[in-house]
Amino acid sequence: MWSFFHKLGSPPWLYRISGSILRWLLPLTLIALCAGAVWGLFYTAPDFRQGNSYRIIYIHVPAAVVALAGYYVMAIAGAVSLIWKMKMADVAMKACAPVGAALTFIALVTGAIWGKPTWGTWWVWDARITSMLILLFLYLGVIALYEAFDNKEAAGKACAVLTLVGTVNIPIIYKSVDWWYSLHQPASIKFTGESSIDPSMLYPLLLMIGSFYALFTCALLMNMRLEILRRESRTGWVRKLVGA
């Protein structure tokens, strides 16, 4: 266990292992994404009240779920880099931010597109939507803060603290629809008890959520590999790799 942890801290090892993971994970992700999208968009019944417009759920919910989970990945990476001064955790934290920001943005945009025909408005300042907007600003804030420092060690530290402070937002987003009166409906997928979404619609949704997790992992690893090469560009193993 500890040797694995130590290996994770080695850039060439991480570069190599992430490359071999991506080789099979990336095609698998693309297949699952296509399968889930086709299943959800073409082979499920329309909703009894919303008709076909509910189908945007197959993009909206997975993007939102993984945007929240991705924040925890970023926060844990930030904590590890603060406590153990692990360079690769810092790389992971930095690589998370743009991916999470993109997913949050997708969730907000698809939510607006969904809201117009169903609720009758693009945007409303309710607890769920506002806290999701704050999540987007947190991700963007981490990106901006990192770039604002010339000293990358200080940048990593500042970003790690920001991500840790921001973690409080995640349970707020998750529970906002239960704690306050909001326009956004409560969760349909329940961990305990029966989900209030029909199984024929739930299975493609779960497949899409799984695919989005895999997509997040792929994007994160690819981002990390790029950052590793950038940081290690002067070392022997990278020079050997590019054949210089």
Which residues of this chain interact with other proteins, rule CB under 8 A? 44-50, 54, 57, 79, 82-84, 117-121, 124-127, 161, 164-165, 167-169, 172, 179-183, 185-188, 196-198, 200-201
| CA distance to 24, 81, 117, 216, per residue, from 14 (Å) | 16, 16, 46, 17
223 CB-near residues (< 8 Å, 6+ apart): 95, 96, 98, 99
Instruction: Using the minimum distance from each CB to other proteins, give the nearer residue, 44 or 223.
Output: 44
Instruction: Using the minimum distance from each CB to other proteins, give the nearer residue, 124 or 222.
Output: 124
Instruction: Using the minimum distance from each CB to other proteins, give the nearer residue, 47 or 232.
Output: 47
In the complex, least distance from residue 233 CB atom to other proteins, rounded to whole angstroms: 29
5 CB-near residues (< 8 Å, 6+ apart): none
**Which single residue is written with the structure tokens 């299943």?**
39
Instruction: Using the minimum distance from each CB to other proteins, give the nearer residue, 33 or 205.
Output: 205
What is the C-alpha separation between 79 and 164, in angstroms, rounded? 7
Using DSSP's 3-state secondary structure scheme, residue 107 falls into helix
